[in-house]
Amino acid sequence: MEKIRIICSSCQKTLSVPLEWEGKKVRCTQCLHVLEVSNIEILKKLQEMNQNKLKIKENKDKVEKKKKTKAMKKFL
């Protein structure tokens, strides 16, 4: 069963709910606020975009580290 993460609009706790719950109401396990699980496809795309951004940042960091290493080797 595939799950999606949603964030409680009241306390900001991240909840993991099954995709099949789209359109249903859930209660936050932390603050007991009731929220509706909606726009699953949009949420999935946003999560994919965020994951891609993290991967891009990690790759940029690796490239920068390699550049610094090469620059240091030139001086040694």
List pLDDT tens digits, range 60-71.
888 888 888 887
pLDDT at position 42 is 67
Q: Say how many domains are in the chain.
A: 2
Query: Do 28 and 59 fall into the same domain?
Result: no
Q: What is the pLDDT of residues 22-68, one digit of tens each?
A: 889 999 999 999 998 877 666 677 777 778 888 888 888 888 888 88
Asked if residue 33 and residue 3 are part of one domain, the reply reads yes
Residues 27, 2, single domain; the answer is yes
- Residue 43: inside a domain: no
Q: Is the pTM of this model over 0.95?
A: no
**DSSP symbols for the chain:** --EEEEE-TTT--EEEEEGGGTT-EEE-TTT--EEE---HHHHHHHHHHHHHHHHHHHHHHHHHHHHHHHHHHHH-
Signed CA dihedral, 31, 37, 38, 42: sign only: positive
Domain span at residue 18?
1-38
In a domain, 44, yes or no: no
The average pLDDT across 6-23 equals 89
pLDDT in the model for residue 68: 81
Q: Are residues 4 and 33 in the same domain?
A: yes
Predicted pLDDT at 47: 74
